[in-house]
Amino acid sequence: MTQIARKTRVIEGILPDAVPYDELMEAGKPAILKGLVRDWPLVNTSSTGQAVAYLKSFYRGLPVVAFVAQPEKKGRFGYTADATALDFESSQGPLNEYLDVVTSLPDDQSAPTIYIGSTDVDTFLPGFRTENDLNLNHEMFAACPPLVGAWIGNRSTALAHHDLSYNIACCLVGRRRFTLFPPEQVANLYPGPLEPTPGGQVLTMVDIDAPDFERFPGLGDALAVAEVAELEPGDALYYPAMWWHQVSALDSFNVMVNYWWNVTPDFMDTPQNTLMYGLLSLRDRPEQEKRAWRAMFDYYVFGPAGRAADHLPEAARGNLAPMDELKARRLRAHLLRRLNR
């Protein structure tokens, strides 16, 4: 792996019922929560066989989705050479059968990589969180509790990508390495095509473990500000929304559970749709128009939320007033009419 000097900050002594969510989000940077989940029963299983049996005890038979990469991919999930397709396959089947296959594979380069990702814990492993869970008693979770997903497989690397949500990733079985990049490094990470994607978010085109600086000269700038988080079983990693991260599972059998959440109401649309509409409406306009629209967006969108309405009488503020569910429905209907014209 490329040597990255910057290590993610470590916070010691935090318990699962006292996660400092406000402090973490205010800091706006990744943090390792050392030993946060070390007392969870799955972490304390004594062997791969015992960990598999523990997971199977919660499984109720619903088919899960697994991603399979052939041995020549060396555990990396990405694009084909021409970047027109993903270079791995997906299949559906019983979790217990996938667990048996994963744990029977040789731990060498002759084995395919099997990766069961973002599998909803409450749906597929009901009861697991009764014994293995964080305290989510925080006001920001009242209306929209985090999504809790399981990630299971052998040695693998999920290439750098970003999530739209905040995340606490709990390393339960096997070791994991996260390589993290601030959102501002997007250009230096050379994102792949908008379609296809493995889960809605683009992957980097670069190999950060074997950098090709001739093809991707900006990658050096990204690596200069990257940080690495090495996780042992029982550790957790917090990282903010939109941070790019490459995730490597380092052992022959690995289990991670993560908590994804957003701090905006459900009625707000995803900025990903805004980006797509920007490609349609803004990107190919003349540069002077784009500069003008950048100023307009800075005024209406990226500046202080109330600035554009502060000088208007309250009755005249309309969509410039704070967004609520009713305004969101009306605005969405208006946009749909315009898009379908």
- Residue 200's pLDDT is 81
Mean pLDDT value of segment 310-336:
94
- Residue 263's pLDDT is 92
* 229 and 291 belong to one structural domain: no
- Residue 3's pLDDT is 66
Q: Does the pLDDT of residue 77 top 90, yes or no?
A: yes
* 185 and 64 belong to one structural domain: yes
In this predicted model, what pLDDT tens digit does every residue of 163-209 receive, in sequence order? 999 999 999 999 999 999 999 999 999 999 999 998 888 999 999 99
Answer whether residue 182 is part of any domain. Answer: yes
* 186 and 276 belong to one structural domain: no
* 146 and 191 belong to one structural domain: yes
* 215 and 284 belong to one structural domain: no
Structural domain of residue 74, as residue ranges? 10-261
Looking at this protein, which amino acid is placed at residue 98? Y
Predicted TM-score (pTM) of this structure: 0.94
Answer whether residue 3 is part of any domain. Answer: no
Contact of 299 with 308, CB cutoff 8 Å? yes
In this predicted model, what pLDDT tens digit does every residue of 110-156 receive, in sequence order? 999 999 998 999 999 999 999 999 999 999 998 889 999 999 999 99
Considering the chain, what percentage of its residues have pLDDT values greater than 70?
99
Q: Does the pLDDT of residue 219 top 90, yes or no?
A: yes
Answer whether residue 139 is part of any domain. Answer: yes
Q: Long-range pairs for 132-139 at CB < 8 Å and ≥24 separation?
A: 132/37, 132/40, 132/41, 132/42, 132/172, 132/257, 133/16, 134/16, 134/17, 134/19, 134/36, 134/37, 134/168, 134/170, 134/259, 135/16, 135/17, 135/18, 135/19, 136/259, 138/21
Overall domain count for the chain = 2
CA distance linking residue 320 with residue 196, whole number of Å: 35
- Residue 1's pLDDT is 57
**Of the candidate ranges 68-72, 198-202, 318-322, the one whose mean pLDDT is the lowest:** 198-202
CA distance linking residue 172 with residue 184, whole number of Å: 31
231, 261, 291 - which closes a domain: 261
Mean pLDDT value of segment 262-282:
93
205, 240, 261 - which closes a domain: 261
| 112 SS3 class | coil
261, 286, 309 - which closes a domain: 261
* 292 and 255 belong to one structural domain: no
* 256 and 109 belong to one structural domain: yes
Q: Does the pLDDT of residue 272 top 70, yes or no?
A: yes
Considering the chain, what percentage of its residues have pLDDT values greater than 90?
93
CATH of the domain at 214: 2.60.120.650
* 70 and 138 belong to one structural domain: yes
Contact of 267 with 325, CB cutoff 8 Å? yes
Mean pLDDT value of segment 65-82:
94
